[in-house]
Amino acid sequence: MPPSPDDLLAHILDETKFLVEDSARTDERSFMTDECRQRAYARSLEIIGEAAKQIPSSVKEAHPEIEWKAMSRMRDKLIHHYFGVDYALVWDTVASDIPKMRLALQEIRL
């Protein structure tokens, strides 16, 4: 049985919580030299993107304020870029986009 929209949203919120809380304990310079943290953030963004792809269209249409496609595109960039990841882009996404996205997602009631 595929995950429910509630389960998918919970996965996204779980990953955004990790990213917001962990990124508050570091800065870009430290992040760029911490391979474990880089990989963890990239993996979280992949999970967010994969879950976003599976959210039903009816939910996406009901919540156009959420950048569902941007989540999916980031996942695709990370998954299909086999010979390196742009960790500056990962940091920018986590530092700039994820906190706002998390707040918007917390308002969704399915």
Dist CA 21 CA 81 (whole Å): 27
Quote the Cα angle for 80-81-85, to 5°.
135
When pLDDT is cut at 50, 70 and 90, the band that residue 82 belongs to is low
List active site positions: 75, 80
Dist CA 50 CA 96 (whole Å): 20
Q: What is the pLDDT of residues 5-42, one digit of tens each?
A: 999 999 999 999 999 999 999 999 999 999 999 999 99
Domain count, the chain: 1
pTM of the model: 0.91
